[in-house]
C-alpha cells in the first residue's frame, strides 16, 4: 500500500504487518499521553514525587536517555571530524536515535516542571552560575542541530529525493555537515558535562558533591566521558536489536568492531577516572563536609554493593567484554554493550535517586519512593514514541546504507 | 535581561555565557542559510538535475560505479568519480587521445541485439545521431527484456528539456513508477513509442552534440556481458542461470514474477 | 544604613513540640489547605518542627524538638547559585534569602540543593474552601501551583515595619516592629529573632553564647539560624547524618 514510499532496493514488510507492530505502541503512547495530560491539568501531585524526592523517575530517565543518546554526537564526531568512514553505515540511525532521545527528554521535562509556560524565563533571566542554565541552553541548541541533521535523512526518502530542489538542498547541506557535527560535539560536551555538574556542585548533598576544576566539578568530566563511552554501545545495541527484529543484516562487521573498540577504550578510561574520583571523594571531599563516606552506604538497599556493581560489574567488566568483542565479535560485543548501557543508567540513578534518598540532617530519615502509574505511563509513552518514530524512519528512510549490499537476494 | 530591571546586572560571566550561545546560534543559522542560499543559486543556474544525479551516484555501491575503461580491461581498477559524465573527465580525454576505440560492429549476445550504428548509455538507453543533427533515443535490448510488457509509458512532452542522467520517460509496471534516465542533453522535438523506431527524437543542446560519455565501438560488448553478469547476480536464484548459449526471454518479469523487479531495474538502470 | 543580618537563635531545650509556630507560620503566609491525601512529605510547612531522639533505650532515651525553617545561608547559599532563572536572591541589606514565585519555573533544583530540606513545592493548585478566604493575610501574596516556596522570615512584616518607619520619618525600623510569626507565637519563647550584626541585641549575644551550634556547619553554608542546647547529644546534631540501618 505504501510501497511507493519505500526505497526500491530494500524489502519491508507489508503495511498491515507494520500497522500490527505499531498498534500496541500507539496504545502505550495513548495511555502515557493521558497521564501527561493529567499532570499538566492537575499538577505534579499526580506523581509520587514529594519534597524529599524532588526528582524522581522522570529526571533519572531524562539523564539516562541523554547519556545513551550521546551516540548521535559521538558518531557524528568520529565520522565527520575524525573521518572514520565506516560509521557512514550507522550515522543515519544514530541521528534518528539522538533526535528521539533528546526530543523525548525535552517533552518529559516540559511536564516535569511546575510551570512549563515559564520555560522561556531561563533564556531571558539566565543565571550563568547555574548548571541547569547551561544544560537548558546547550540542549535547546543541540536539539536544533539534531533536527537540522535529521532533515537530510528525510530528504533522502524515495519520493523526496526525486525532487531536484530538495536533492540540491540536501546536497548543499551535506557539504556543510562537518560544521554541524563540530557544533554538536561542542554542545554535547558541555551539556553532558553540565548534567553531571548539576549534582556535583550541590554542596548541600555531600553524597553527590565533588571538587573539580574552575566552575566544573569532577562529575562534569565523568559524565562526558561516560556518555561518550556508552553512546557507541547504544548504537551497537540498537543496530543489533533492529537486525534481530527485522531478520536482516544491516551493517558489516567492521562497523560493529569499531564501535566496540571506541566504546571499550573510553569505558575503561572512564572506570579508571571514576575509581580515582571515588577515592578522592571517600578520603577528602566527603569528610571535609563532615560526612564519612561509609555512612552513605549503610542504608539498604544502597549498600556498598551499589558502588561495586556500578564500577566493576557494569563498568570494568563491559569495558573488557567490549574490547574482546572488538577482536572477536559475537556475544562479547552484545553483552558488553548491554552491560555498559546498564552501568551508565545505574550511574545516573545513583546521582539522582540515591542522592535524594539519603538524608543530610541527622534527624531526617531515609525515605522510599515508588513512581506513580502516571510516571510509569509517561515513561512508557517516551519509549513508545521512540519506537514509533524509529519504526517509521527505518521503514521509509535509508538509515543503513549497507543494507542494500548486504541483502544479496532481492527476491 | 535589561540592566537594573528585576535586579538584573551584566557580569562578565553573563556576558561570556550569552555571547557564546549567541555565537553558536548564529553559526548554526548562518550555516543553514548558506546551504539554502547555495541551493537556490544552484537551482537558478540550472544545475539542479546535475547535482541530483551526482548525489544519487554517490549512493550507488562501488561495484556499480566502475569506470568504462575497466570494462574493456584498459584499466585494472577504477571507480568513476564523474558520475559517468566522461565529457568532464580529464583521464578519459587523455586516454582516448592516445587509444581511440576500435570501430563498432553489430553483435548479439544471449539474444540481445546491439547494432553498431548506435551509442549506448550506462543507464541502458541507446542514442543514434541523425544526419540533420538530431538524436534518436530509446531503450536498449536488455532493458526491454527487463521490463517486458509494461503497464504504461509516459513520454516527455514535445519541448521538454532533457538533461543527461535526469529522468526522461516514466514506466508504470508491476506496481512501480520507474523513471528511465536520459542519455543526452537536449530538447524533445518528437515523441515515438515502443512500436516505432525510437522513443524520442531530441535536438541536442550543443552543436556538435557532446556524446563522449556514451559507450561505442568495441566497448559495448564487454559492457553488455558484464551487465548480464550483474543481472544474473541480482536475480538469482529466481532465474535459471544464463550459462553460455542461453537466450534471454522476451519478458523476464513474466517468467520470474517472484523476483523484486523494481529493485532490479533500480540497480541496473541507475535509479535506485 | 548599616546592612543587617537577620537571624534566629532557637533554644532546643525550651521547645516541647507544640507546633504553635507551625500554625502561626501557615496562617501568616497564606499556606493553602492541603489535598485530602497530602502527607508530611508533600505538605507545605515553611516552619517545620522535627523530632530527634538520642537513640538510647529507656531510661536513657531522650527526645528533642528542632524547629526547622530556611536557615538563610550566608555563604555559598546553595539555592541561589543553582536557580536557572535567578528566582532566588540574597538581599545584601538583610541577609534574607528571597524567593520570587512569579519567576519560579518549578524545576525544583533549589530543593535538591538545599541540605536542610527547607524548601517546599506546590504540588497542587491551592484552593481555599468557601469562607476561608477571610483568614487570608492581605500582606502576603499566595503562590500558584508548581512553584517553590520557603520561609522568608515573614518578609511581609519587615515591609510593614519599614513602611511604618518611613511614615514616621525614621531611616531604620524599630526592632520591636519586626517579629516573625513563629517567634511571636512560641509560648516558651524558644525562638529569638533579630539582627545578628547588632552587637547589643539579645539574639546577637545569644548566638555567641556557649552551647550554640548550627546545623551542618561543616558544609560551609554560614546559616543565620543558631540552635542552643545544654544537651551534648543535641549539639552533636550539628554534624552530619550518620547512616541508619533499615531493617
Q: What value does the mean pLDDT take over residues C166-180?
A: 93
pLDDT at A47: 94
CA distance C167 to chain A (A): 34
Which of C15, C75, C243 to probe the A interface (max A CBs under 10 A)?
C243
User: Band of the pLDDT at C244, cuts 50, 70, 90?
Assistant: very low
- Residue C246: pLDDT band with limits 50, 70, 90: very low
Q: What is the pLDDT of residues A339-362, one digit of tens each?
A: 999 999 999 999 999 999 888 888
Q: Average pLDDT over chain B, rounded to whole?
A: 87
**Rg over CA atoms, chain A:** 22
Rounded (5°) CA angle A169-A170-A172: 65
Kindly state whether residue C11 falls inside one of the protein's structural domains: yes
- A38: nearest CA in chain C? C124
In a domain, C1, yes or no: no
Mean pLDDT of chain A: 92
Is the Cβ of A366 closer than 8 Å to some Cβ of chain B? no
Measuring CA to CA, which residue among A206, A364, A366 is closest to residue C48?
A364
- Domain-embedded: residue C238: yes
Q: Which residue of C has its CA nearest to A200?
A: C113
Over 50: is that where the pLDDT of C245 sits?
no
Q: Is B6 on the interface with A (CB under 8 A)?
A: yes
C57 to chain A, any CB pair closer than 8 A? The answer is no
**Minimal CA separation from B163 to chain C, in Å:** 57
Which residue range forms the structural domain that includes residue C155?
A: 6-245
Residue C89 sits at the chain B interface (C-beta within 8 Å)? yes
Whole-number pLDDT of residue C243: 46
| Comparison of pLDDT for A88 and A406, the residue scoring more | A88
B197 confidence band (pLDDT: 50, 70, 90): confident
Evaluate if residue B242 carries a pLDDT over 60. Answer: no
d(CA C113, CA A126): 18
What are the two backbone dihedrals, phi and then psi, of residue B137, each rounded to the nearest 5 degrees? -130, 150
**Chain C touched by A63 (CB under 8 Å):** no
Separation between Cα atoms, residue C108 and residue C79, nearest integer Å: 10
Angle subtended by helix axes A177-200 and A218-246, to nearest 10: 120
- Chain C residue with Cα closest to A47: C123
Tell me the per-residue pLDDT of C87-124, one tens digit each, with 9 for 90 and over. Answer: 998 999 999 999 999 999 999 999 999 999 999 999 99
List CB contacts of A175: < 8 A, sequence separation 6 or more.
B35
State percent of chain C over pLDDT 70: 96
Q: Looking at residue B241, what is its pLDDT?
A: 59
Could you give the ipTM of this predicted complex? Answer: 0.91
Is A411's pLDDT higher than 60?
no
Quick check: A183 and B28 CB within 8 A? Answer: yes
Q: Does B21 touch chain C (CB under 8 A)?
A: no
Q: Are C81 and C97 in contact (CB under 8 A)?
A: no
C193 band by pLDDT with thresholds 50, 70 and 90: very high
Decide if C199 is inside a domain: yes
Question: Which one of B3, B4, B7, B21 makes the best mutation probe of the C interface by having the most chain C beta carbons within 10 Å?
Answer: B7
Asked if the structure places residue C133 within a domain, the reply is yes
- Judged by a CB distance cut-off of 8 A, whether residue A285 touches chain C is no
Q: How confident is the model over B229-238, as a mean pLDDT? A: 78
Judge whether B146 and B231 are in contact, CB under 8 Å: yes
Tell if the CB–CB gap between C120 and A365 is shorter than 8 Å.
Answer: no
For residue B107, what pLDDT band results from cuts at 50, 70 and 90?
A: confident
Contacts of C218 in chain A (CB under 8 A): 288-290
Please indicate whether, in this complex, the C-beta atoms of A170 and B176 are within 8 angstroms of each other.
Answer: no
**A168 touching chain B per CB within 8 A:** yes
Please give the tally of structural domains in chain C.
1
Amino acid A364: pLDDT? 85
Between A288 and B1, the more confident residue is A288
Q: Kindly state the helix (H) or strand (E) to which residue A305 belongs, with its residue range.
A: helix A304-308
A411 Cβ partners below 8 Å, 6+ apart?
A: B235, B237, B238, B258, B259, B260
CB B200 within 8 A of CB B138: yes
Between residues B249 and B65, the one the model is more confident about? B65
- Average pLDDT of every residue of chain C: 91
Residues of chain A in contact with residue B57, where contact means CB-CB under 8 angstroms, are none
CATH of the domain at C100: 3.30.70.20
Give the mean pLDDT of A159-181.
Answer: 91
Q: How confident is the model at residue C247 (pLDDT cuts 50, 70, 90)?
A: very low
Interface of B with A in 136-175 (CB under 8 A): 167, 175
A169 shares contact with chain B (CB less than 8 Å): yes
Domains of chain A: 3-410 (1.20.1630.10)
Mean pLDDT in residue range B118-131? 92
What pLDDT, on the 0 to 100 scale, is given for residue B244? 59
SS (H, E, C) A374-401: HHHHHHHHHHHHHHHHHHHHHHHCCCCC
Model confidence at C239: pLDDT above 70: no
Amino acid at each position: 500500500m505504501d510501497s511507493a514510499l519505500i526505497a526500491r532496493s530494500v524489502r519491508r514488510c507489508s503495511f498491515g504487518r507494520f500497522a500490527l507492530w505499531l498498534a500496541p505502541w500507539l496504545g502505550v503512547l495513548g495511555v502515557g499521553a493521558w497521564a501527561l495530560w493529567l499532570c499538566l491539568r492537575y499538577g505534579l501531585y499526580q506523581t509520587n514525587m514529594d519534597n524529599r524526592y524532588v526528582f524522581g523517575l522522570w529526571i533519572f530517565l531524562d539523564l539516562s536517555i541523554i547519556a545513551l543518546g550521546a551516540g548521535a554526537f559521538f558518531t557524528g564526531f568520529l565520522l565527520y571530524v575524525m573521518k572514520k568512514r565506516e560509521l557512514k553505515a550507522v550515522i543515519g540511525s544514530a541521528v534518528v536515535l539522538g533526535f528521539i532521545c533528546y526530543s523525548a527528554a525535552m517533552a518529559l521535562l516540559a511536564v516535569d516542571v511546575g510551570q512549563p509556560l515559564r520555560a522561556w524565563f531561563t533564556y531571558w533571566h539566565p543565571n550563568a552560575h547555574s548548571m541547569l542554565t547551561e544544560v537548558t541552553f546547550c540542549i535547546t541548541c543541540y536539539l536544533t542541530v539534531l533536527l537540522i541533521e535529521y532533515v537530510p535523512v528525510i530528504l533522502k526518502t524515495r519520493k523526496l529525493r526525486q525532487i531536484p530542489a530538495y536533492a540540491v538542498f540536501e546536497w548543499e547541506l551535506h557539504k556543510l555537515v562537518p560544521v554541524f557535527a563540530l557544533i554538536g560535539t561542542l554542545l554535547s560536551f558541555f551539556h553532558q558535562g553540565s548534567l553531571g555538574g548539576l549534582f556535583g556542585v550541590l554542596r548541600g548533598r555531600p553524597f553527590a558533591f565533588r571538587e573539580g576544576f574552575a566552575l566544573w566539578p569532577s562529575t562534569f568530566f565523568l559524565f562526558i566521558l561516560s556518555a561518550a563511552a556508552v553512546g557507541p554501545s547504544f548504537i551497537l545495541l540498537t543496530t543489533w536489536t533492529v537486525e534481530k527484529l527485522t531478520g536482516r543484516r544491516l551493517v558489516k562487521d567492521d562497523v560493529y568492531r569499531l564501535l566496540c573498540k571506541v566504546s571499550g577504550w573510553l569505558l575503561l578510561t572512564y572506570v579508571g577516572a571514576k575509581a580515582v574520583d571515588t577515592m578522592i571523594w571517600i578520603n577528602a571531599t566527603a569528610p571535609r563536609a563532615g560526612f564519612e563516606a561509609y555512612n552513605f552506604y549503610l542504608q539498604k538497599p544502597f549498600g556498598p554493593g551499589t558502588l561495586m556493581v556500578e564500577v566493576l560489574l557494569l563498568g570494568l567488566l563491559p569495558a573488557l567484554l567490549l574490547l574482546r568483542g572488538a577482536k572477536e565479535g559475537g556475544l562479547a560485543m552484545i553483552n558488553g554493550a548491554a552491560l555498559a548501557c546498564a552501568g551508565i543508567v545505574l550511574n545516573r540513578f545513583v546521582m539522582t535517586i540515591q542522592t535524594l534518598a539519603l538524608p543530610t540532617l541527622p534527624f531526617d530519615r531515609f525515605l522510599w519512593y515508588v513512581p506513580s502509574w502516571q510516571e510509569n505511563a509517561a515513561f512508557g509513552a517516551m519509549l513508545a514514541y521512540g519506537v514509533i518514530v524509529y519504526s517509521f524512519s527505518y521503514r521509509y528512510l535509508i538509515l543503513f546504507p549497507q543494507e542494500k549490499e548486504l541483502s544479496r537476494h532481492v527476491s | 535581561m535589561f540592566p537594573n530591571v528585576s535586579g538584573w546586572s551584566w557580569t562578565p560571566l553573563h556576558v561570556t555565557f550569552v555571547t557564546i550561545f549567541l555565537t553558536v546560534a548564529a553559526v548554526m543559522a548562518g550555516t543553514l542559510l548558506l546551504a539554502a542560499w547555495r541551493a537556490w543559486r544552484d537551482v537558478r543556474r540550472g544545475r539542479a538535475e546535475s547535482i541530483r544525479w551526482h548525489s544519487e551516484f554517490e549512493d550507488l555501491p562501488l561495484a556499480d560505479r566502475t569506470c568504462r575503461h575497466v570494462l574493456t580491461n584498459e584499466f585494472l581498477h577504477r571507480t568513476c568519480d564523474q558520475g559517468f559524465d566522461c565529457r568532464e573527465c580529464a583521464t578519459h580525454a587523455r586516454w582516448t587521445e592516445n587509444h581511440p576505440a576500435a570501430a563498432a560492429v553489430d553483435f548479439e549476445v544471449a539474444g540481445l541485439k546491439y547494432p553498431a550504428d548506435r551509442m549506448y548509455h550506462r543507464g541502458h538507453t541507446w542514442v543514434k545521431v541523425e544526419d540533420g543533427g538530431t538524436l534518436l533515443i530509446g531503450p536498449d535490448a536488455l532493458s526491454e527484456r527487463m521490463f517486458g510488457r509494461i503497464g504504461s509509458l509516459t513520454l516527455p512532452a514535445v519541448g521538454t528539456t532533457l538533461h543527461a542522467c535526469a529522468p526522461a520517460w516514466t514506466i508504470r509496471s508491476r506496481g512501480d513508477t520507474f523513471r528511465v534516465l536520459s542519455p543526452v542533453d537536449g530538447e524533445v522535438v518528437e515523441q515515438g513509442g515502443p512500436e516505432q523506431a525510437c522513443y524520442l527524437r531530441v535536438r541536442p543542446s550543443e552543436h556538435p552534440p557532446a556524446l563522449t560519455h556514451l559507450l561505442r565501438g568495441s566497448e559495448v560488448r564487454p559492457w553488455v556481458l558484464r551487465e548480464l553478469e550483474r543481472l544474473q547476480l541480482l536475480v538469482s536464484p529466481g532465474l535459471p542461470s544464463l550459462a553460455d548459449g542461453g537466450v534471454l526471454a522476451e519478458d523476464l518479469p513474466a517468467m520470474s514474477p517472484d523476483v523484486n523487479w523494481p529493485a532490479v531495474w533500480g540497480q541496473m538502470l541507475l535509479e535506485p | 544604613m548599616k546592612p543587617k543580618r537577620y537571624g534566629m537563635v532557637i533554644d532546643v531545650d525550651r521547645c516541647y513540640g507544640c507546633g504553635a509556630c507551625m500554625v502561626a507560620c501557615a496562617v501568616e503566609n497564606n499556606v493553602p489547605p492541603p489535598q485530602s491525601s497530602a502527607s508530611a512529605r508533600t505538605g507545605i510547612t515553611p516552619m517545620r518542627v522535627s523530632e530527634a531522639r538520642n537513640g538510647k533505650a529507656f531510661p536513657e532515651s531522650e527526645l528533642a524538638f528542632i524547629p526547622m525553617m530556611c536557615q538563610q545561608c550566608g555563604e555559598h547559599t546553595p539555592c541561589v547559585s543553582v536557580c536557572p532563572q535567578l528566582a532566588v536572591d540574597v538581599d545584601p541589606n538583610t541577609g534574607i534569602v528571597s524567593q520570587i514565585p512569579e519567576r519560579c519555573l518549578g524545576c525544583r533544583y533549589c530543593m535538591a540543593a538545599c541540605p536542610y530540606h527547607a524548601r517546599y513545592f506546590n504540588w497542587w493548585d491551592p484552593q481555599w474552601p468557601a469562607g476561608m478566604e477571610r483568614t487570608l493575610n492581605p500582606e502576603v501574596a499566595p503562590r500558584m501551583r508548581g512553584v517553590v516556596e520557603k520561609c522568608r522570615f515573614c518578609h511581609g512584616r519587615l515591609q510593614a515595619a519599614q513602611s511604618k518607619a518611613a511614615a514616621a520619618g525614621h531611616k531604620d525600623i524599630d526592632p520591636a516592629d519586626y517579629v516573625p510569626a513563629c517567634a511571636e507565637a512560641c509560648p516558651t519563647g524558644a525562638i529569638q529573632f533579630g539582627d545578628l550584626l547588632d552587637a547589643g541585641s539579645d539574639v546577637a549575644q545569644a548566638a555567641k553564647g556557649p552551647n550554640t551550634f548550627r546545623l551542618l556547619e561543616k558544609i560551609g553554608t554560614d546559616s543565620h539560624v543558631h540552635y542552643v542546647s545544654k544537651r551534648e547529644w543535641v549539639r552533636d546534631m550539628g554534624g552530619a547524618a550518620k547512616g541508619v540501618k533499615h531493617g
